């Protein structure tokens, strides 16, 4: 069924292009991106992570190359390629790179991009929907370190590990505020345009589906979404250990004038492919956030809690994150940001070797263009 879906969607995309006619305008290439310079001070348990500098300077930067053209039948073709600014901190110098084909039929995306369940649910889930400063899930780990032996992940988004591996997705047009998206991912290992990946390389034949609603009830803005993903494990994985990787995510965001509140649920199961008998319940996470939009001044608070099975079948690794943020618009595309964050890692082992907790305060200027 999954292979039939992929084949049908690919044929539809090819048919749309083949019958689209000539372009009425020359394709355009534009640039976008951002650069953020960050200064932070951190206090954490040195016994868990070793001696670390208390004052650090970090940066976050990315450049987008965006192409677009509109055909004579109204279909728009776009491309996006993202160049990472910190290749030493990423496995890819090029992050996402994909093509979009948009029309009255909806949108088809082909290339290195997140799956539909990931894309459609994340913006409704807790702190993901309310952050005004740094990101609660990603950035707390840059300052307060996860100790060795703790298996937890703070990034609670639905991807089962497929991340930006090559895939094909289809999104329906929005009807009455509702939209549906589906994705097929041949292999969770990013391809190198040589040969199709082997079944034994990674999880494969991934399928994701999501539905989202955006609208209003009286004066309250509502965004809610639910997504599901499933995949086949790498061939040769011990039966019962990683036999059915799957996950579900759901979120609800409500906006009351200048106040936005959001909550999210995320659960991924049967994720481990190393043949071990532990860690099969994956990650379970709850995420909450609130934002106040005062025009040029914005404030937010986010909190998340997660747990996962670690190396011992009887216990779980846990983490709690919280972040209070302030953002000030200094000019077009320029923001000042201030963040106070707290993280508490609790490992399943006796003693404190896989525990860590700490506080950090960061300040930054971000330029988006």
The CA-atom distances, in angstroms, between 44 and each of 48, 143, 340 are 9, 9, 14
In this structure, the number of other CB atoms found within 10 A of the CB of residue 128 comes to 24
**Which range of residues forms the domain containing residue 28?**
2-368
CA distance 117 to 250: 9
Residue 299's beta-bridge partner residues?
A: 292, 326
Q: What is the pLDDT of residue 276?
A: 41
Evaluate whether 157 touches 287 at the Cβ level (below 8 Å).
Answer: no
Evaluate whether 132 touches 326 at the Cβ level (below 8 Å).
Answer: yes
Residue predicted with more confidence, 90 or 160: 160
Q: Which of the residue ranges 12-21, 43-52, 57-66 would you say has the lowest mean pLDDT?
A: 12-21
pLDDT band at 279 (very low <50, low <70, confident <90, very high): very low
Q: What is the pLDDT of residue 319?
A: 92
**Residue from 112, 41, 24, 70 nearest 339 by CA:** 41
Q: Does an H or E element contain 345, and which?
A: strand 334-346
As a whole-number percent, the residues of the chain with pLDDT over 70 amount to: 82
**Residue from 280, 203, 275, 278 nearest 239 by CA:** 275
List the structure tokens of 245. Answer: 């990787």
Whether residue 273 is predicted with pLDDT greater than 60 in this model: the reply is no
Burial environment of residue 323 by CB neighbours within 10 A (0 to 12, 13 to 18, 19 or more): buried
Q: Distance from CA of residue 25 to its chain's centroid?
A: 34
Q: What is the pLDDT of residues 91-123, one digit of tens each?
A: 567 788 999 999 999 999 999 999 999 999 999
Whether residue 283 is predicted with pLDDT greater than 90 in this model: the reply is no
Q: Give me the number of domains the chain comprises.
A: 1
137: alpha, beta or left? (left if phi > 0; alpha if psi -120 to 50): alpha
CATH of the domain at 203: 2.40.160.10
Q: What is the pLDDT of residues 320-366, one digit of tens each?
A: 999 999 999 999 999 999 999 999 998 877 767 788 899 999 999 99
């Amino acid at each position: 069924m999954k292979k039939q879906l992929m084949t049908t969607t690919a044929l539809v995309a090819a048919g749309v292009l083949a019958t689209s006619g000539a372009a009425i305008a020359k394709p355009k290439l534009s640039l976008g991106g951002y650069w953020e310079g960050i200064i932070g001070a951190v206090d954490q348990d040195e016994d868990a992570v070793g001696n670390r500098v208390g004052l650090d300077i970090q940066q976050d930067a990315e450049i987008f190359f965006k192409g677009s053209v509109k055909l004579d039948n109204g279909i728009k073709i776009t491309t996006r390629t993202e160049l990472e600014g910190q290749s030493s901190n990423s496995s890819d110098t090029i992050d996402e790179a994909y093509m979009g084909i948009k029309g009255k039929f909806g949108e088809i995306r082909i290339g290195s991009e997140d799956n539909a369940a990931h894309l459609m649910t994340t913006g409704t889930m807790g702190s993901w929907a309310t952050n005004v400063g740094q990101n609660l899930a990603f950035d707390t780990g840059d300052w307060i370190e996860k100790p060795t032996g703790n298996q937890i992940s703070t990034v609670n988004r639905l991807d089962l590990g497929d991340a930006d591996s090559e895939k094909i997705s289809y999104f329906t047009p929005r009807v009455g505020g509702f939209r549906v998206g589906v994705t097929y991912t041949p292999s969770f290992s990013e391809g190198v345009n040589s040969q199709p990946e082997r079944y034994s390389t990674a999880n494969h034949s991934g399928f994701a589906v999501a539905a989202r609603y955006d609208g209003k009830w009286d004066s309250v803005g509502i965004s809610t979404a639910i997504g599901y993903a499933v995949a086949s494990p790498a061939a040769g994985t011990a039966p019962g250990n990683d036999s059915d990787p799957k996950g579900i995510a759901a979120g609800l965001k409500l906006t009351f004038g200048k106040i936005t509140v959001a909550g999210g649920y995320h659960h991924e199961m049967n994720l481990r492919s190393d043949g071990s008998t532990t860690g099969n319940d994956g990650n379970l996470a709850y995420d909450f956030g609130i934002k106040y939009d005062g025009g040029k001044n914005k404030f937010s608070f986010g909190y998340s809690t997660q747990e996962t099975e670690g190396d011992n079948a009887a216990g779980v690794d846990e983490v709690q994150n919280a972040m209070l943020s302030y953002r000030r618009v200094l000019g077009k595309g320029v923001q000042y940001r201030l963040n106070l964050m707290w993280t508490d890692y609790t490992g399943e082992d006796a003693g404190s070797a896989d525990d860590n907790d700490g506080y950090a305060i960061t300040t930054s200027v971000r330029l988006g263009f």
